Amino acid sequence: MVDVFEEVEEELRASRYKRLAMTWLPVVGGVLLVALIAALAWWGWDSFQNAKADKASVAYERGVEAVAKGDTAGAKAAFVEAAKEGNGAYKSLALQQQAGLAVDANNDAEAIRLFDEAAKASGDPILADMARLKAAYRVMDAGNLADAEARLTPLAEEKRPLRPFAQLALGMVKLQSGKGPDARSAFVLLTLGQDVPDVVRQQAQTAIEIIDSGAAANIKAITDAQAKLPPLTPQQIQALSQPAQGPAQ
């Protein structure tokens, strides 16, 4: 009798396992199929991105080489290609290179636009803030001090990666705006800061010396006058580029 009961129990157990298998195997199979499809899709996407990054890298290097050779047209074409093909990092770098070409061509408006676009292209805080800082520099050089201050203030906040450079630029904006004491205070803080790069500390110390010597008093008047000067004509540029003939007039 014991053997009969054990045999019946074994059959019931086998029947129960069979029902469980029939119930869950399709579910498990479906999950595994979805996981396989997801893995293949990720592999395909990753391979596609790596291929784009490789193409962007080649184009970017070609642009850098063209810049070194003075081939502006070739450099611009290469950087445009790198920005189009690349991921966020390569796109941001390529756009910043294009902005540099615009700066060389004295096209500040185009340079600022490209720097702003580069800041939005990458999620990397250093690359993004680098582009924002360069845009602010161009705005400063154009004499738009209020706009420059608005751009620099967020970059000078705590935990921003390029904070000391933004603080130095804000000090220069204050100095150009005729706010010498405020600018000096900002520069003093930079010379005393613990996490301030040496190059920023040295520039801040130099600015303090200029302020203390009284030479900074004319900075606002000089920059205002420069902003009002008309652009040079091609003939004037050509004349300035010619070597002087005889004694200076």
Could you tell me the residue ranges of all domains in the chain? 53-142, 145-216
Count Cα neighbours of 140 within 13 Å in the Cβ-side half-sphere. Answer: 23
Residue of 55, 51, 74 lying closest to 63 (CA atoms): 74
Q: Are 56 and 87 in contact (CB under 8 A)?
A: yes
pLDDT in tens, the chain (249 residues): 545 445 545 655 566 656 655 666 565 556 655 565 666 555 554 454 555 667 778 888 899 899 889 999 999 999 999 888 877 788 899 999 999 999 999 999 999 999 999 999 988 899 899 999 999 999 988 888 899 999 999 999 999 999 999 999 999 999 888 888 999 999 999 999 888 999 899 999 988 988 888 876 666 554 455 444 454 444 544 454 444 444 333
Q: For domain 53-142, which architecture applies?
A: Alpha Horseshoe (1.25)
* pLDDT at residue 146 in the model: 93
Give the predicted TM-score (pTM) of the model.
Answer: 0.67
Q: Can you give the length of the chain in residues?
A: 249
* pLDDT at residue 35 in the model: 65
What's the Rg (C-alpha) of the chain? 32
Using CB atoms within 10 A of its CB, is residue 136 exposed (0-12), middle (13-18) or buried (19+)?
Answer: buried
Q: What interhelical angle do 2-69 and 72-85 show, nearest 10? A: 170
* pLDDT at residue 30 in the model: 60
Q: Are 160 and 133 in contact (CB under 8 A)?
A: no
